[in-house]
Chains A and B, each alone.
Chain A
Amino acid sequence: MTPYGVGIGWRPEIAGFVAELPGLRFVEVVAESVHADAPVPPGLAALRDRDVAVIPHGVRLSLGGAEPVDPDRVDHLAAVASLLDAPLVSEHIAFVRAGGVEAGHLLPLPRSREAVDAVVANVARTQAALAVPIALEPIAAVFDWPDDELSEAEFLTEILERTDALLLLDIANVYANARNRGTDPLALLDALPLDRIAYCHVAGGAEAGGVYHDTHTHPVPEPVLDLVSALCARCRPPALLLERDGAYPAADTLRAELDAIAAASGYPAVT
């Protein structure tokens, strides 16, 4: 993937802020929020006119579901990608529904060979409809399934190798998982195929009841930025994206977070 540097998740609430970032090269938009048959939302169209790449980020595909992905949802993702002239799309390695019941949020898979097979099959079905590459994002999990056969790194590496997909690594998730499980986040970084990273998510979180939650509504904590630096020292990803999904702070605060990610990764500031 082209090195895009530092980007930000485009949300309607802060569209006016994103539009004013002079050095911005890429944003991400929640794929399900874009109508495939309607004109591109004006804020995104203005970014496209500035040659800012817009990456559709799916949240409802349920690639980790035991049943095949819904062809309509796959078609929508593909249509949005072509509408936005996106260089790639991304989705989560998670399931959001099972047996027709919607969970309403992203649920982690057991790291079993069976789950790998299910994800690989669903990714292949999705890739068949897509004209651009897909990047897969492992999710934050506050628990592990008892029947995990594979380590996190083995699980991801196997999926990426068998699907030839790219990796969307969420640094805040890596931090959250390591902190909540008492493991070493650097050990996970060392075990992952870092050269397959398309881009990284960087987000804020907060601790509640002894568990660190990847909230996307709090400031990015210092340890997450340190992890960004540690990752970039090993293999700098082509792009890093600030994810903020609510409780949007003042423009100056958001700019400072973008600058901090730029400083931690060595990319130029976009503000």
Chain B
Amino acid sequence: MTLAAPGDTWGISGPSFLGLYVALALAAIVATAIVRSLLARGHTGPGPRLTPDQVAFLNGGPQLTTYAALGGLRRAGAIGANPDRTLVPTGPLPAGSTALDTAVYNAAGKRLRTRDLTGDPWVSSTLDDIRAGLERAGLLLSRGQRGQSRLAALLLLPVIVLGGARISAGMANERPVGFLTVLVLVTVVWMLLSLARAKTRTRAGTSALASLRTENQHLSPGQSPSYATYGAGAAAMGIALFGASTLYMVDPAFAAEAEINRAVTGSGSSSGGSSCGSGSSCGGGSSCSGGSSCGGGGGCGGGGCGG
């Protein structure tokens, strides 16, 4: 322990302040994580019975959700793809189609490409409804909760202000401030990154997905599920739970022609990035909270996400 000497800024030695600063910064980071964890708790108790559309949105956001609808419609023989990669209706809209199926089927009638589906107004508004339903069910964080979750990173701000004050006081006192400056800069970067990211799925949402994967274990790609046997609803659920590669199992020729991105898949740690993955889905503004929430999307994959 370094004793305070007469020349020390604020009567605290440099090394002691560094230790104090680190302790305060860590405390703020832990506090942020606790606040976020509380916000991400979501609905407790048994959840509602989820449709493939909802499951797909929960797992992989708008893009995977349109893929699930495409898979169901394709399995039912309702749509196909043209050589120019546009979608086309090939049969009547199947009985029991969901609102999203209907919207996607309609978009196929307009010869849209798969990647433009989320930009179609009807599809987009249906996706918004699915998102809103999942938020009400406590499976996705609401826009407000995501905002609060991001803002929780501001708990680091007082620590940074304190560090800044110490740096200016130290400089005025002609004491060395190099180590502290580096530490404060690191803290600032940490806070900015943390502000830009927020989980979209609650813990209830994640556990609902996990139990659905167990329940539908026969649809996992390792089983080579026979979708001819299981039918259209199962095809949509398989894509929803296990990603776009399942669409290649349902109908490889269609999946290739419709330019299905095999890499689109929900993952255990899926966060903001996946649900705002494509520019078109965020363009409407209503489904995402503007540029700020989409801006951080790219960085959300790297684990943690403050949770």
Give me the interface of A with B, judged by CB distance under 8 Å.
Answer: 12-17, 19, 42-43, 248-251, 254
Contact = CB atoms under 8 A, between A and B. Distances in A.
A249 B229 CA distance: 5
B229 A43 contact: no
B226 A14 contact: yes
B78 interface: no
A248 to B, nearest CB: 4
B219 interface: yes
Interface string B200-235: 000000000000001011110011111011110010
A252 to B, nearest CB: 9
Contact of A17 (B217, B224, B229): B229
9 contacts: A13-B225, A13-B226, A16-B218, A16-B229, A42-B214, A42-B217, A248-B228, A249-B228, A250-B231
Contacts of B226: 13-14, 17, 248
A37 B229 CA distance: 31
B217 A43 contact: yes
Given A12-B224, A13-B223, A251 B217 contact: no
B228 A43 contact: no
A8 B294 CA distance: 51
Nearest to B225: A13
A15 B218 contact: yes
A19 B229 CA distance: 13
A174 B239 CA distance: 42
B21 to A, nearest CB: 51
Nearest to A43: B218
Contact of A15 (B214, B223, B228): B223
Interface of B: 214, 216-219, 222-226, 228-231, 234
Contacts of A13: 223-226, 229
A43 B228 CA distance: 19
6 tightest Cβ-Cβ pairs between the two chains A and B = A16-B218, A248-B226, A12-B223, A13-B226, A15-B218, A248-B229
B231 A251 contact: yes
B96 to A, nearest CB: 15
A12 B230 CA distance: 12
A14 B217 contact: no
A259 to B, nearest CB: 16
Which among B225, B228, B229, B230 has the highest number of chain A CB atoms within 10 Å? B229
Given A13-B229, A42-B214, A250-B229, 7 more contacts: A13-B226, A14-B226, A16-B216, A16-B229, A16-B230, A250-B231, A254-B229
Contacts of B216: 16
Contacts of A250: 228-229, 231
Nearest to A247: B228
Nearest to B214: A42
Nearest to B216: A16
Contacts of B234: 16
B180 to A, nearest CB: 55
A250 B230 CA distance: 7
A106 B211 CA distance: 41
Nearest to B219: A16
Contacts of B217: 42-43
A251 B228 CA distance: 8
Nearest to A17: B229
A251 B229 contact: yes
A14 B223 CA distance: 9
A17 B219 CA distance: 11
A164 B226 CA distance: 39
A19 B225 CA distance: 13
A53 to B, nearest CB: 20
Contacts of A16: 216, 218-219, 225, 229-230, 234
A17 B230 contact: yes
A19 B231 CA distance: 15
B212 to A, nearest CB: 13
A248 B229 CA distance: 6
Contacts of B224: 12-13
A251 B230 contact: yes
B229 to A, nearest CB: 5
A14 to B, nearest CB: 5
B219 to A, nearest CB: 7
A19 B228 contact: no
Nearest to A12: B223
A38 to B, nearest CB: 13
A34 to B, nearest CB: 14
A12 B226 CA distance: 9
B173 to A, nearest CB: 67
A42 B225 CA distance: 14
B247 to A, nearest CB: 17
Contacts of B214: 42
A204 to B, nearest CB: 15
A217 to B, nearest CB: 12
Contacts of B222: 12
A60 B231 CA distance: 33
A43 B225 CA distance: 12
B19 to A, nearest CB: 50
Contacts of B230: 16-17, 251
Which among A16, A43, A254 has the highest number of chain B CB atoms within 10 Å? A16
